[in-house]
A = this chain, B = another copy of it.
Amino acid sequence: MTIQRLPADAPPLATVARIGDFVGQTVTLRGWLYNLRSSGKIAFPQLRDGTGVIQCVAGRKDLGDEAFEALIRLGQESSLVLRGEVRADPRAPGGYELKVSGLDILHAAVDYPIGPKEHGPDFLHNHRHLWLRSRRQQAIMHIRHLSVMAIRRYFDERGYLLLDSPIFTPNACEGTSTLFETEYFGRPAYLTQSGQLYQEAGATAFGKTYCFGPTFRAEKSGTRRHLTEFWMVEPEIAFADLEDIMDIAEDFLVFCTQFVLEHGRPWLVELERDLSKLEAVQKPFPRISYDDACVQLAALGEPVDPDDDFGSPHETVLTQQYDRPIMVYGYPTAVKAFYMKENPEKPSRVLGVDVLAPEGYGEVIGGGQREDSLDVLLHKIQEHKLPQEYFEWFLDLRRYGTVPHGGFGMGLERFVTWVCGIPHIRETIPFPRTITRLTP
């Protein structure tokens, strides 16, 4: 006997998501009690089965006193098996209801901690393992899953090889202050902050590669845009310059938003997302040089030091001027990583680009063209006081057939936060990790 396959004499197993296929039939549904109203003669349990919630109708007469009494005494999230006839009913939420003819109670839950009343975010995050059962969190997790599918499909269908970058690295790519360290058989190892350097090896081996995995930053700022553990996708392309990278980033972001919009509409509606904002994510994205953006920001009353980086307030003001993502390129060389290629026509600016999401969501993509000259890179490593011996393998990529190349990184959770239109990034990952949170 297996549980997935019901006994031969049981009504066929259905799911709430596919219940419309069973109208007029008697089926078996398994799940958890989401809600229950009852009078002395009739009860309206709502059953949650992981694929959706369905309203059910159970009469005392049909079930008998004993089963009916047991049912109406059940607490929220009790697990049960219901049998009954599926009826189309336009008044029911979802359009269908189950007329219950039989039930088995698997486990009677008592005092489920998350009730209909409002709970604070700390309480909910402390109960994340249960909070995931709520409709809103389910909608966000479905949008996350669809986003992952869109991202992978984009690259898989376009000839990129998936080349997972390692998590353990012997050295720090962009400074040690935000690194997590572990003891690795008697020496230190660091958790990756970016898989990019390894993807550069990938691009010269396979032409185009990507990695998509967890990334770690010991962010001491507990902002609503930061997690210590988040997922990042990083494509890298050989024979590409800044303009190519902007073309690809734009095409990619349009594909991903439209894919989620196409396949995730019910979840976005559940989240009360303004769909017109996502429908507007179409090519072309405005391409604005950093210097032009500074002029624009000054005129908007938010001046920037042209040799410093943008802050979040600048990003917010700037992106509010547009109905779609914008691409800001040519940031000051002084504030960017050592591997970014300088603009040969203006060495104080790099051939890098940030894609800023609209509605104040800010940077979702950062990337650009990489320095492909061995000599320049050696000089940069000295200038940034980085330990050259750790980068010898990376320098090899410039010693043996160097080519113009570039790529970008997109943080999955920032993308999902924006697409869902929610205020805080921590709801976009199943079990968020922040400076104050390591559990559950």
Contacts and interface: CB of A to CB of B under 8 A. Distances in A.
Given A79-B402, A430-B198, A50 B205 contact: yes
Given A129-B396, A430-B163, A438-B189, A141 B184 contact: no
Given A133-B205, A163-B141, A239-B30, A244 B4 contact: yes
Contacts of A3: 239-241, 244, 404
Interface residues of A, number: 102
Interface stretch (A166-174, A276-284, A308-316, A418-426): A166-174
A85 interface: no
Given A164-B430, A165-B430, A201-B132, A207 B50 contact: yes
Interface in A45-72: 49-51
Contact of A2 (B168, B207, B243, B439): B243
A381 interface: no
Contacts of A191: 182, 191
A237 interface: yes
A131 to B, nearest CB: 9
A401 interface: yes
Question: Which of A201, A203, A436 gathers the greatest number of chain B CB atoms within 10 Å?
Answer: A201
Copy total for this chain: 2
Nearest to A1: B243
A241 B164 CA distance: 34
Nearest to A218: B185
A32 B204 contact: yes
A429 interface: yes
A123 to B, nearest CB: 13
14 contacts: A30-B239, A50-B208, A77-B401, A79-B401, A79-B402, A79-B403, A106-B402, A127-B393, A129-B397, A138-B206, A141-B163, A168-B438, A185-B435, A187-B438
Given A51-B207, A138-B206, A170-B439, 14 more contacts: A1-B241, A4-B240, A32-B204, A49-B207, A51-B206, A109-B399, A112-B400, A145-B161, A166-B229, A166-B430, A168-B228, A180-B183, A393-B440, A394-B440
